[in-house]
Structure 1
Amino acid sequence: MLDATPLTDSWILRYDGTDLPAEVPGCVHTDLLRHGVIPDPFLGRNETEVAWVGRREWTYEVELADGVSGGHDQTDLVFDGLDTAAEILLDGRLLGSVRNMHRSYRFDVTGMSGRLSVRFASAYAEAQAVRERLGDRPNAYPEPFQYIRKMACSFGWDWGPTLVTAGIWRPVRLERWSTARIARVRPLVTVDGTTGCVELLVDVERAAVEPGLRLEARIGDVRAVAEVDGTNGVVRLEVPRAELWWPRGYGEQPLYEVELTLYAGVDALDVWRRRIGFRALELDTSRDAHGSGFTFVVNGERLFVRGVNWIPDDVFPSRVTRERYHERLTQAADAGVDLVRVWGGGIYESEDFYDLCDELGLLVWQDFPFACAAYPEEQPLRGEVEAEARENVVRLMPHPSLVLWNGNNENLWGFKDWGWEERLAGESWGEGYYLGVLPRVVAESDPTRPYTAGSPWSGSWERHPNDPAYGTHHSWEVWNREDYAAYRREVPRFVAEFGWQAPPAYATLRRALADLGEELAADSPGMLHHQKAEDGNGKLERGLARHFVVPDGDFDRWHYLTQVNQARAVAAGIEHWRSHWPVCAGTIVWQLNDCWPVTSWAAIDGDGREKPLYHELRRLYADRLLTLQVRERRLVLAVVNQAAQAWKGEVRLRRMSVDGVVIGETDAGFTAGARTVAPVGVPKGLEPVGPKEFLVADTDGRRALHFPATDREIPYPQPEFDVSVAPGGVTVTARTLVRDLLLQADRLDPDARADRGLVTLLPGEQVTIGVSGWKTPDPDTARSALHCLEPGR
């Protein structure tokens, strides 16, 4: 039987005559940080002080005992991930050179021993050498990330630091085996009626000519056997009355373990085990009266996708454990998310990520790692791209959560709109990958899943790549140049990216900027260093000014209002687009998470704290949602029901003044069928007029509000409310209208968390905000952490 021995101990990181004990898996930065050689690059402006790390060579070494033992025929040295350009030597002999972070590598070291050295070149030096050979190409950032198959965002992004890593970032081991081993398994999983079908296409590597190799596979009590023909074999299993795997909110997530064993006679040589799920999958992109759609269909159920974009959860991805994945993905599921898009400037995540998505019912949209740049298609990159694609498509095939392969992020759009075509003057830029190599790899390796050439993509060069009426759409003009009310101008078929910025939580900022000794201010040097977007603060301020009086020198007020504006902006988009289902079939918010403490579009900041946006997503992505929308100059209540059962009831409509007086009210019945949207007309006499009035719609504990004026025009009363400490939380009782009340729990204690975000209370209403992690609760301290909208502010 194949014997695997992890190589995790006794590694040394060597540079300039210095030897440091190293952790493997890991990277140079984390080793240097652990030994105090560099400061924490997440704090203050330390990022700039450690820039030298990415521009020099590094060597990892370990003593390797005799590579042959236990009577095995062959010993392989296996690296699951090397970051990125490196030479591997054993006892001074070159085993090979590598240049791709996204691949694994295997070297035959049978009978060999001695000093194992992994010598990493600077990623900058490797990228520059490729650029000089292939010529310059445009990109969205001034770093050479498109010339090396490495996590692009380690070179910095408009939310990320420039920390160019090197190291053995995934596990390394010795594998000893005899006769033959299982080299690759492609599980094609389909559903035929009530029968689950699995076809295992197996590649075998042989160390000796051994006739009579066979494969035995099982799923529970279902078993099948097949002979190996040379180096290939196919085993088919059928599971009667298979339970279907569903996205969260639509059903359960049953998983079946498949075990495949390779035999020579009675001897078991190798075993492959994975969990699979049975589900039917379709991506409907057919033409209709509105253009062409982009609708996921799982087990015959058409979905409105409630998604988030995912970036690497740490700029040093070797630090992301299964426990951290579990925390972040559970946060996503708890917010009502049912799809996570793994963005193309990052990585193919670890098995833990996809395993957890399988368990949680989170659909995965997987980008191939291409983002915001023109990528050369010549060697040495072309061969690397195809090799990495083939490996990762096969690696991730078993996961039922994986529902889409996407060729790139914004590169087709960039070619059309960002001046690339003229600059390229006929040079290659990646089109051959997205419309040639990658769809061919997916079709050959994983024909059970759909592929799309990019995001955004309208399906054809006959239309603009970002045409909202066709396929996927990225909505960034709003954040960059307009008020978020502009989201309501159009109904894209599928919104794959949109978002609005806000700073991280107060405690996160305090930790990140503590060593600078500066007062927190929107434009302090520390705050600006942790704002990576072009004119990010200017866009934040202009976005505020359209709705509020921009605070002058009051950081706490600025911090609160930017959080409110972020939640309001995202709500404006999602409520509008959800109300137009099934024309619009999904939204994917940019973004769920951060990789360090930074002002960004994230709902969860770099320290894992939830912003108000996160709690707003729980409302926006709930199965049932009320939203008041203006349609053809009339106010309409859209009753959005994504649940499997019809929603029937009565909604109470109240036209009110900001002073709390009810001007008019009525009850209206509604019926929204399963997975439908039902419009309820608002009587003309209940439509609010002017800045002193608003409309409230309530049913089944859900509420929608409509204010016809911007906040800066509304004469809010001075908010009055009582605060008391309840068991496990804080109770607030309103004596006036209290708009967008927010308890910033991390101001009570850095470890404290609140169970909700923004809430609006009418006079006489009460809310209890659950708080965990607060060690010494008292009402005065609670009041100091409460914020709400105030007149003239």
Structure 2
Amino acid sequence: MPAEIPGCVHTDLLRAGRIPDPFHDDNETRLHWIGHTEWVYETTFDAPEEADRVDLVALGLDTVATVSVNGTEVGSTANQHRSYRFDVKKLLRRKGNTLTVHFGSAYAYAEAVRAAVGERPNAYDEPFQYIRKMACNFGWDWGPTVVTAGIWRPIGLHAWSVARLAEVRPLVTVDGDTGYVEVFVTLDRAAPADLVLTLQISGGTATTRIGADEDSATVAIDVADARRWWPRGYGDAHRYDVTLTLSTVDGATLDTWHHKVGFRSVDLDTTPDADGSRFVLRVNDTPIAVRGVNWIPDDAFPTRVDRERYRTRFTQATDAGVNFLRVWGGGRYESAEFYDLADELGLLVGQDFLFACAAYPEEEPLAAEIAAEAHEQVVRLMPHPSLVMWVGNNENIWGFHDWDWQQPLDGRSWGGGYYFDLLPRTVARLDPTRPYWPGSPYSGTPDLHPNDPAHGTTHIWDVWNTHDYTRYREWRPRFVAEFGFQAPPAWATLRAAVSDDPLTPDSPGIAHHQKAREGNDKLLRGLAGHLPAPADFDDWHWATQLNQARAIRFGIEHFRALRPLCTGTILWQLNDCWPVTSWSAVDGDGRRKPLWYALRRAYADRLLTFQPDGEDLVLVAVNDGPAPWRESVEVVRHSFAGDALAGVTLDVDVPPGGAARLTLPARVATPGDPAAELMTAGDATWFFAEDVDLRYPEPAWEATVEGDTVRITAHTLLRDLALFPDRLDPTASVDDLLVTLLPGRSHTFRVRAGGTPDPAALTSRPVLRCANDLAHLVAPSVNPL
């Protein structure tokens, strides 16, 4: 069968029509045999022109590979996260050479390592911690089990003479208006010769001579009047082109290295204070209010994600107010395109080393692989100004403390040597320009519980797993690195992936695309006390998506209102790797769920939010914009009929990065009828009871459809009005969702679609929904024009 490189066995088999789509229905389970099977990739090639050396360069082999040229083994690999180079010159013929890459079963390798080093606990019944491979390949509580094999990054020949740049390690710093670039170079030589290393940036040039017996060198340059790289919202993400050239003394170029770099400083402020200790990320000495999302591989088969798809996903993030991406430790070190786009857009990136939810052995063969992997990845990523933090692992320190690991470990290694020794030493030695944090979560010292909310980073998972989302208000964290709530994907995404007829929350395809333990039960439990029990699948789909959006907006607004105590939130999660019910804001087909629109409001530069303050209510104004926020805000208590019952005008005056708590008079904040009143302040709303306890009117509206606009005029209160045009046209999307209208007020939705949806269908249930139609199961009063 033909193979496409980069790629993997699954994508090649799928392209050849030999397997069904693993994402459709429950096909995934019938394809598990692929990960237990050995595979061979083979090609023929001609040798390049004469050179001192000819290397076979494999930038990524997944994962247990034996590489042969013309029948002679040249090397073996066991790490998806490393690149490899093999000297093959002596094996080559001028024409008709054969390259063979034999991939062993990842399962067989991992199970052999497990047998050698002993069993270790983990979160799933899969051996992912015994092999250096993308852990979520083995399945997760949002991902399929698709254990891949293949040549997943480019492979080719590199012919070179005399010497080449084996490693280029640029330290980029800034002091005042002066930028500094110091480049440490390691050479690979084929012949002794004096060489010249030339560094060029911003019109400046620096050179150094390398003796014939030297294989390393350093060259440095200063850049006067350096423009700094700033995160989005704080200034321009300015970058400079850098070129490094290796040449002979008579000027013949041997090798070159190009990159873009940015001048910026970054540090973590963890100063103790009266509430514990701070966790403040500072860029260019400026505290950054982190509005983040967790990033997982955007496809279970990563080679299908190209630069344009990254740009689409990053645009979805920035359009929702996101300024920080945390690359989660169960996935991969992302591609050059990922970090380059983050650099360009001013998106901050926190990079986990690849350890997640398991006790990891520190014995061989893993120890040496991890040391080499960490070295390579730190050097590869350090030129990127967007990368502002290295994190040792995801939840493993927490797991060691709280997940009943210690008895089964019985004193055996679990990864602590990596997180507290190897990795911080590697970062400090190679890249002292950015901070290292041992884990997520972590509280800054082994003497503290690793998930102590008063210190460091915190993961909040009692909400969703065991508690209602209103429990977020009991948390007072310094920095939230994970928290989330589930919902199904968009209707068109679900319908394309699942052929169940009829669809029910527990029909086979829907159930298969819910990987979380007791996930659908938790979805229903999450509705209790908030929204009525769904009457049918359409109501289940709408209610669970609405509840996810409300839960996350509730949590983020609470955390942001704690400013300056809480300095950042990183939502679990932005994206999905396949069509699944999950915690994502953007589903596996790239469609925005209602959560995305709620996130855009909750992550706005300027946020107004009503918050309890003891027995009272306050209005909190949070300003993450670049300028002071000064305006008058009208706060009004309304009846559901739209009557203004009481009001007050408050003056907002908040500096950049600050928050203000504005007292509300009792006459405004105290309802006469809690079941039929609400408060508004700009985009902020406050209902005095949960939906199930409110006397919602039966929703009624007037709808006008003209071209790509749908204008809704409310005849009654319409809470969380939402339009789902993808139910009619899978290509369709809408610019806004979750709009609350008082009687007499209007809102215009803009629909982007490949076709022209039927106006009547576009403006009626289940395409047009609101929260109060869940309480009124009869058909609402609609007058489409």
Pairwise TM-score range, normalised by the shorter structure = over 0.9
Quote the Cα distance in structure 2 between the aligned partners of 1:443 and 1:333: 31
| 1:457 matches 2:439 | no
Quote the Cα distance in structure 1 between the aligned partners of 2:296 and 2:378: 19
Quote the Cα distance in structure 1 between the aligned partners of 2:304 and 2:683: 41
| 1:787 matches 2:769 | yes
Q: Which amino acid aligns with 1:500?
A: F
Q: Deviations over 1:125-154 (max 9, x none)?
A: 000000000000000000000000000000
Q: Which amino acid aligns with 1:558?
A: W
| 1:322 matches 2:312 | no
Aligned Cα root-mean-square deviation (Å):
1.1
Q: Which amino acid aligns with 2:402?
A: D
Q: Which residue in 2 is equivalent to 1:111? A: 90
Quote the Cα distance in structure 2 between the aligned partners of 1:778 and 1:81: 49
Matches within 5 A, 1:159-174: 159-174=142-157
| 1:223 matches 2:205 | yes
Q: Which residue in 2 is equivalent to 1:706? A: 686
Deviation at 1:710, TM superposition (A): 1.0
Q: Deviations over 1:532-582 (max 9, x none)?
A: 000000100000112111114x11111111111001000111001111112
Q: Which residue in 2 is equivalent to 1:133? A: 116
Q: Which residue in 2 is equivalent to 1:393? A: 378
Q: Deviations over 1:591-636 (max 9, x none)?
A: 0000000000000000000001111111111110100000122100
Could you list the runs of 4 or more consecutive aligned residues of structure 1 that deviate by over 6 angstroms after TM superposition?
Answer: none
Q: Which amino acid aligns with 2:467?
A: E
Deviation at 1:774, TM superposition (A): 4.8
1:233 match: secondary structure: strand
| 1:264 matches 2:264 | no
Deviation at 1:674, TM superposition (A): 1.7
Deviation at 1:697, TM superposition (A): 3.2
| Contact 1:258–1:275 (Cα < 8 Å) also in 2 | yes
Quote the Cα distance in structure 1 between the aligned partners of 2:98 and 2:651: 78
| 1:661 matches 2:643 | yes
Match for 2:669 among 687, 710, 717?
A: 687
Deviation at 1:270, TM superposition (A): 0.2
1:638 match: secondary structure: strand
Quote the Cα distance in structure 2 between the aligned partners of 1:776 and 1:213: 66
Q: Which residue in 2 is equivalent to 1:83? A: 62
Deviation at 1:214, TM superposition (A): 1.2
1:688–1:525 Cα change, 3 Å: farther
| 1:746 matches 2:729 | no
Q: Which amino acid aligns with 2:421?
A: G
| Contact 2:640–2:678 (Cα < 8 Å) also in 1 | no
Aligned length: 765
Q: Which residue in 1 is equivalent to 2:36? A: 55
2:263 match: secondary structure: coil
| Contact 1:650–1:670 (Cα < 8 Å) also in 2 | yes
Match for 2:187 among 194, 204, 220?
A: 204
1:111 match: secondary structure: helix
Q: Which residue in 2 is equivalent to 1:22? A: 3
Deviation at 1:770, TM superposition (A): 1.1
Q: Deviations over 1:366-405 (max 9, x none)?
A: 0000000000000000000000000000000100000000
2:44 match: secondary structure: strand
| 1:568 matches 2:550 | yes
Q: Deviations over 1:696-739 (max 9, x none)?
A: 333xxx41111121110001001111111134221111111100
| Contact 1:730–1:769 (Cα < 8 Å) also in 2 | yes
Quote the Cα distance in structure 2 between the aligned partners of 1:668 and 1:294: 32
2:133 match: secondary structure: coil
Q: Which amino acid aligns with 2:265?
A: A
TM-score normalised over the length of structure 1: 0.95
Quote the Cα distance in structure 2 between the aligned partners of 1:21 and 1:346: 27
Deviation at 1:294, TM superposition (A): 1.3
Q: Which residue in 2 is equivalent to 1:526? A: 509
Deviation at 1:334, TM superposition (A): 1.2
Q: Which amino acid aligns with 1:77?
A: L
Q: Deviations over 1:315-345 (max 9, x none)?
A: 0111111111111111111111000000000
1:131 match: secondary structure: helix
Deviation at 1:777, TM superposition (A): 4.0
Q: Deviations over 1:254-282 (max 9, x none)?
A: 11110000011211100000000111111
Q: Which residue in 1 is equivalent to 2:226? A: 242
| Contact 1:216–1:224 (Cα < 8 Å) also in 2 | yes
Q: Which amino acid aligns with 2:722?
A: L
Q: Which residue in 1 is equivalent to 2:454? A: 469
| Contact 2:641–2:742 (Cα < 8 Å) also in 1 | no
Deviation at 1:756, TM superposition (A): 1.1
Quote the Cα distance in structure 2 between the aligned partners of 1:39 and 1:644: 51
Quote the Cα distance in structure 2 between the aligned partners of 1:289 and 1:545: 37
2:524 match: secondary structure: helix
| 1:499 matches 2:484 | yes
| 1:287 matches 2:272 | yes
5+ unaligned residues in a row in structure 1: which ranges? 1-19
| 1:252 matches 2:231 | no
Quote the Cα distance in structure 1 between the aligned partners of 2:637 and 2:102: 71
1:560 match: secondary structure: helix
1:692 match: secondary structure: helix
Q: Which residue in 1 is equivalent to 2:779? A: none
Match for 2:286 among 301, 317, 320?
A: 301
2:65 match: secondary structure: strand
Deviation at 1:764, TM superposition (A): 1.1
Match for 2:703 among 723, 729, 742?
A: 723
Q: Deviations over 1:737-763 (max 9, x none)?
A: 100111012113100010112110011
Match for 1:508 among 490, 493, 506?
A: 493
| Contact 2:188–2:215 (Cα < 8 Å) also in 1 | yes
Deviation at 1:789, TM superposition (A): 1.9
| Contact 1:657–1:692 (Cα < 8 Å) also in 2 | no
Q: Which amino acid aligns with 1:102?
A: H
Quote the Cα distance in structure 1 between the aligned partners of 2:117 and 2:670: 63
Q: Which amino acid aligns with 1:523?
A: D
Match for 2:752 among 726, 747, 772?
A: 772
Q: Which residue in 1 is equivalent to 2:71? A: 92
| 1:440 matches 2:425 | yes
TM-score normalised over the length of structure 2: 0.96
Quote the Cα distance in structure 2 between the aligned partners of 1:726 and 1:225: 65
Q: Which residue in 2 is equivalent to 1:9? A: none
| 1:589 matches 2:558 | no
Deviation at 1:349, TM superposition (A): 0.6
Q: Which residue in 1 is equivalent to 2:160? A: 177
1:721–1:177 Cα change, 3 Å: same
| Contact 1:658–1:692 (Cα < 8 Å) also in 2 | no
Quote the Cα distance in structure 1 between the aligned partners of 2:658 and 2:728: 42
| Contact 1:726–1:768 (Cα < 8 Å) also in 2 | no
Deviates more, 1:713-722 or 1:684-693: 684-693
Q: Deviations over 1:668-709 (max 9, x none)?
A: 2221122110111110111143532444333xxx41111121
Deviates more, 1:429-438 or 1:88-97: 88-97
Quote the Cα distance in structure 1 between the aligned partners of 2:483 and 2:628: 30
| Contact 2:480–2:570 (Cα < 8 Å) also in 1 | yes
Q: Deviations over 1:433-480 (max 9, x none)?
A: 000100000000101010000000001121110000000000000110
Quote the Cα distance in structure 2 between the aligned partners of 1:734 and 1:695: 16
1:635 match: secondary structure: strand
| Contact 1:411–1:454 (Cα < 8 Å) also in 2 | yes
1:790 match: secondary structure: helix
Q: Deviations over 1:643-672 (max 9, x none)?
A: 121111111111122232222112122211
Match for 1:35 among 12, 16, 24?
A: 16
| Contact 1:185–1:201 (Cα < 8 Å) also in 2 | yes
| Contact 1:246–1:253 (Cα < 8 Å) also in 2 | yes
Quote the Cα distance in structure 2 between the aligned partners of 1:688 and 1:34: 63
Match for 2:395 among 399, 404, 410?
A: 410
| Contact 1:306–1:338 (Cα < 8 Å) also in 2 | yes
